[in-house]
Chains A and B, each alone.
Chain A
């Protein structure tokens, strides 16, 4: 079956530090990969995505590259801000696992805390 493994937090960094949140996956087919972010008291928001190997997703200074050879989709940002404090979820959608509309498989989430 499909699974997503990501580093568990909390991860605490100082403002302007470099961020990496690791994510690896297992999938039976050809997954699309996603990072979602959840701010306190809110639902999940799509941060970025990549649909095939070597694609790079980017948004709001965050980047992640789809690495098929290492089955990874690590999230990076060069200089974090206090406003980036949130929970980050790595997820995959395997279009061949269920046929048609299919749920996402999520990691457990990484709580990121940015201190001023």
Chain B
């Protein structure tokens, strides 16, 4: 596998369920990101991990819980979500310190909360 992969690609869950989104990057990068893409809104940065430490949390509700066990993997744990959390969740990675700033995105997980 190359690039950034995300699983599952589609997820339907009830408001009382607990689920996790997974992201894996095969680029040797040291920073990873979660974004939320909702209809008619700009992409919203949710979390940033650099060298496996969380460096940014943009006032995301606690029902979203990120985890970065190593530089290649990033998870987003979901619990007691609301219907307005339905969106495309995108993972990205980059190489901090390279000066290139370029982020590479996965295909996303389309989440529907019933």
Residues of chain A having any CB pair with chain B under 8 Å = 4, 32, 34, 36, 41-46, 49, 51, 89, 93, 95, 98, 100-109
How far is B37's CA from A109's CA once the two chains are assembled, in angstroms?
11
Q: How far is the CA of A109 from the CA of B49 in the complex (A)?
A: 25
User: What mask results when residues 95 to 109 of chain B are scored 1 for a CB within 8 Å of chain A, else 0?
Assistant: 010011111111110
Interface pick from B14-22, B39-47, B79-87? B39-47
Nearest-Cβ distance from residue A45 to partner chain B, whole angstroms: 7
Q: Is the CB of B103 within 8 A of A104?
A: yes
With A34-B101, A102-B48 already in contact, 8 other A-B pairs whose C-beta atoms are closer than 8 Å: A42-B108, A51-B99, A51-B100, A89-B43, A101-B30, A103-B56, A104-B103, A105-B45
A25 to B100, CA, bound (A): 19
B102 and A34 contact, CB distance less than 8 A: yes
Report the Cα distance A44→B94, complex, angstroms. Answer: 14
Enumerate chain B interface residues (CB-CB to A < 8 A).
4, 6, 30-31, 33, 35, 40-43, 45, 48-50, 55-56, 58, 90, 92, 94, 96, 99-108
A49 touches B102 (CB 8 A): yes
Given A101-B31, A108-B42, check contact A43 B106 (CB 8 Å).
yes
Q: How far is the CA of A101 from the CA of B43 in the complex (A)?
A: 17
Most chain-B Cβ atoms within 10 A of its Cβ — which of A36, A93, A102, A103?
Answer: A103
- Judging by beta carbons under 8 Å apart, are B108 and A43 in contact? yes
Q: 9 closest A-B pairs (Cβ-Cβ)? A: A103-B45, A101-B31, A101-B50, A43-B105, A93-B101, A44-B105, A106-B43, A43-B107, A101-B96
Q: Are B55 and A104 in contact (CB under 8 A)?
A: no
User: A32 and B101 in contact (CB under 8 A), knowing A102-B56, A103-B56?
Assistant: yes
The reply to whether A101 and B55 form a contact with Cβ atoms under 8 Å apart is: yes
Within the complex, the shortest CB–CB distance from B54 to chain A, in Å, comes to: 11
Give the shortest distance, in Å, between A37 (CB) and chain B (any CB): 11
Complex alpha-carbon distance, A103 and B31, angstroms:
10
Chain A nearest CB from B57 CB (Å) reads 11
Known contacts: A49-B102, A101-B55, A106-B42. The answer to whether A43 contacts B96 by CB under 8 A is: no
